[in-house]
Structure 1
Amino acid sequence: MQVVSWLPRTELPFAAPSRPELLDTPEPLDVAPVPAMPVARAPAEPSVPMPERPKPERPKIEVPRPSLASTRTNAKPMEEAEEAAAPDKAPPVAPPRFALQLLRAGRCLLLVELPTGEPFQSRDPAYLLLKDMLRAAGLPDSPQIIGEPVRWPLLSRGALDQGPEAARDFVQGFVSARLEDEPCVCLWLIGLPAVKFAGEADAQAFNRELQVEGLGSAWALPGLELLMETPQRKADVWQAMRRLMARWKESNE
């Protein structure tokens, strides 16, 4: 059992005496304590404060508020801004206003501006002047009234286009339909509305002969009211009439 020596705890009877060297207890060795080496510590780093994360800001919504000036004048800033951003639009053209009467005298048709907008009466000064002009031209001085007067605009309201182009198309279509019923050798256009919307001309064409597509030969004259207000214009009308008179005189013969 590999036991070198053992000592009994008590004296055994009849046992051999023990050797004294085995009973001596060795004194413990004094061992100087080894001083503990100080542990080197790394120098403490200065504490750096962590930066605070900025709190996300909520987007600010600007609510438009009317200024004091716009409030006083009852202006609408939003509508004004929209109008400024919108492209410029052409302003609507107001419909022209006129009244025309179509008459027949011999082989001539007369499209005459009604000075008052009402049909001719037998004693109207404008109608008496027209009768004088027909007698001077060698035509019957009691012209035949054809249909009702053409009044423009046709409607007082509504979405129907009643501008100058629509008025021209309507007047020319009206006269063209009467020419299909019975042709004429010359169409008298008396008054600026008749010259403008049937002859497609202006006041510069007064006392001149025009060739109108779909209507044939036409004679542009000032309005009856204008002739009464400026009698000197009658001489220009008479001179122009003498140049054209042969046309309807030959047809009457």
Structure 2
Amino acid sequence: MQVVNWLPRTELPFAAPSRPQLLELPEPLPVAPAVPAPAAQAPVEPQVKPAERVKIEVPRPSLASTRTGAKPVEEVVDAPVVTRVAPVPPPRFALQLLRAGRCLLLVELPTGEAFQARDPAYLLLKDMLRAAGLPDSPQIIGEPVRWPLLARGTMDQGPEAARDFVQGFISARLEDAPCVCLWLIGLPAVRFAGEANAESFNRELQVEGLGSVWALPGLELLMEEPQRKADVWQAMRRLMARWKESNE
């Protein structure tokens, strides 16, 4: 039990006498007076040499914005604008193919209906054929080509489709019986068979797959503007030898 000295509270009978040095109480040790601890000194900050001040340029508002009190304009990033291409409506026309001698005629039908014997436009066409030295009773080939083909549906009936259809129709007739010159009478015939426009009236053109073609104003336009007939007659005189030689 780690007991070094043990002293009984009362004298034990028949016990050996205690040693006197054990009965002496030790004197208390002197306690030194409390010395106040020195106050903690504040840490001494090292002296740092002040750095040079850096000049920072602050943008100043313009004079106009200062006077008017306008707020700075924030940079705005425009979102990409998506443009929608409007579908091109299908062209509308009616064409009739005829044969007069060695020439084929693709004629715009002014009313959209087939020619009648007493139609003014048909009578004018007969006069033009007589002046050209061709039979004045042309043979009608097939039904009129009317565009668009379908009133409804998803088939492409735009200008390019119309051109391909008209040129394919004429090419099939040329395989049956070739011609020396193809007359294109009227703007729809010139545009969708000759791939030209009104500026090509009274001119001879070369069209791939169709050969030599002659662009002419429409019969309705010639009746409304008779002065155009002179230009048609001059162009006809330059081309007349082409089909006259083939008829001999």
SS in 2 for 1:101: strand
Which residue of structure 2 aligns with residue 213 of structure 1? Answer: 208
Relative distance call for 1:210 and 1:8 in structure 2 (3 A) is closer
Deviations, residues 55-74 of structure 1 (Å, cap 9, x unaligned): xxxxxxxxxxxxxxxxxxxx
Displacement after TM superposition at 1:145 (Å): 0.9
Which residue of structure 2 aligns with residue 152 of structure 1? Answer: 147
- Structure with higher Rg: it is 1
1:228-239 to 2 correspondence within 5 Å?
A: 228-239=223-234
1:94-173 to 2 correspondence within 5 Å?
A: 94-173=89-168
SS in 2 for 1:119: coil
Which residue of structure 2 aligns with residue 249 of structure 1? Answer: 244
SS in 2 for 1:249: helix
Relative distance call for 1:37 and 1:213 in structure 2 (3 A) is same
TM-score, structure 1 normalization = 0.68
Q: Distance in 2 between matches of 1:209 and 1:30?
A: 148
Letter in 1 for 2:141: I
Displacement after TM superposition at 1:91 (Å): 3.7
Q: Distance in 2 between matches of 1:32 and 1:230?
A: 148
Displacement after TM superposition at 1:206 (Å): 0.8
Relative distance call for 1:88 and 1:36 in structure 2 (3 A) is same
What 5-or-longer segments of structure 2 have no aligned partner?
Answer: 1-10, 40-78
RMSD: 3.2
Counterpart pick for 2:13 among 3, 9, 13: 9
Displacement after TM superposition at 1:36 (Å): 7.4
SS in 2 for 1:146: strand
Displacement after TM superposition at 1:119 (Å): 1.2
Deviations, residues 8-59 of structure 1 (Å, cap 9, x unaligned): 837xxxxxxxxxxx89x8985683564476598999xxxxxxxxxxxxxxxx
Q: Distance in 1 between matches of 2:178 and 2:12?
A: 170
Relative distance call for 1:29 and 1:220 in structure 2 (3 A) is closer
What 5-or-longer segments of structure 1 have no aligned partner?
Answer: 1-6, 11-21, 44-83
Relative distance call for 1:103 and 1:8 in structure 2 (3 A) is closer
Which residue of structure 2 aligns with residue 31 of structure 1? Answer: 27
Letter in 2 for 1:207: N
Which residue of structure 2 aligns with residue 80 of structure 1? Answer: none
Displacement after TM superposition at 1:176 (Å): 0.7
Letter in 2 for 1:152: W
Relative distance call for 1:35 and 1:144 in structure 2 (3 A) is same
Report the more deviating stretch, 156-165 or 204-213: 156-165
Relative distance call for 1:40 and 1:107 in structure 2 (3 A) is same
Deviations, residues 75-118 of structure 1 (Å, cap 9, x unaligned): xxxxxxxxx64654544322222111101111111000111111
Q: Distance in 2 between matches of 1:212 and 1:161?
A: 23
Deviations, residues 107-147 of structure 1 (Å, cap 9, x unaligned): 11100011111111222111111111112112121111111
Counterpart pick for 2:186 among 178, 187, 191: 191
Displacement after TM superposition at 1:168 (Å): 1.3
TM-score, structure 2 normalization = 0.69
Letter in 1 for 2:108: E
SS in 2 for 1:159: coil
Which residue of structure 2 aligns with residue 227 of structure 1? Answer: 222
